[in-house]
Amino acid sequence: MKKKQIALVLALLIITNVASAVLAVQYVTGDAKEAAATKMLEYFLKKNYLRSKDITEEDFVIGRRKGTVEALNDPYSQYFTPDEYKRFVESTTGEFFGIGVQIGAVADSKLITVIAPIKGSPAEKAGIESGDKIVSVDGEEYTADEMEEAVKHIKGDKGTKVTLGIMKKDGGEVKDVEVVRDEIHVESVVTGSIGDIAYIGLTQFEDDTVKDFAKALKAAKNKKGLILDLRGNPGGILEAAVGVSDMLLPKADIVSAKDNKGKEVFHYTSDEKEWTKPVVVLINRGSASASEIVAGAIKDNKRGDLIGEKSYGKGVVQTLVPLPDGGGIKLTTSEYFTPAGVSIHEKGIEPTIPVELPKNIKGIGLEYQHQDTQLKKAVEVIEKSGR
- Residues identified as active-site: 289, 300, 314
The Cα–Cα gap between 368 and 232 comes to 15
30: left (phi over 0), alpha (psi -120 to 50) or beta: left
The HSE-up count of residue 236 (CA atoms within 13 Å, CB side) is: 29
The HSE-up count of residue 210 (CA atoms within 13 Å, CB side) is: 17
Per the CB < 8 A criterion, the answer to whether 243 and 274 are in contact is no
Residues whose CB falls within 8 Å of the CB of residue 2, separated by 6 or more in sequence, listed in order: 268, 269, 271
The Cα–Cα gap between 121 and 92 comes to 18
Please, where are the H alpha helices in 145-200?
A: 147-154
Q: What are the residues facing 98 on neighbouring strands?
A: 182
Q: What is the separation, in whole angstroms, between the first and last Cα of the chain?
A: 32
Numbers of helices and strands, H then E, in the chain? 10, 21
The Cα–Cα gap between 362 and 11 comes to 29
> Smallest Cα–Cα separation from 178: which of 202, 144, 154?
154
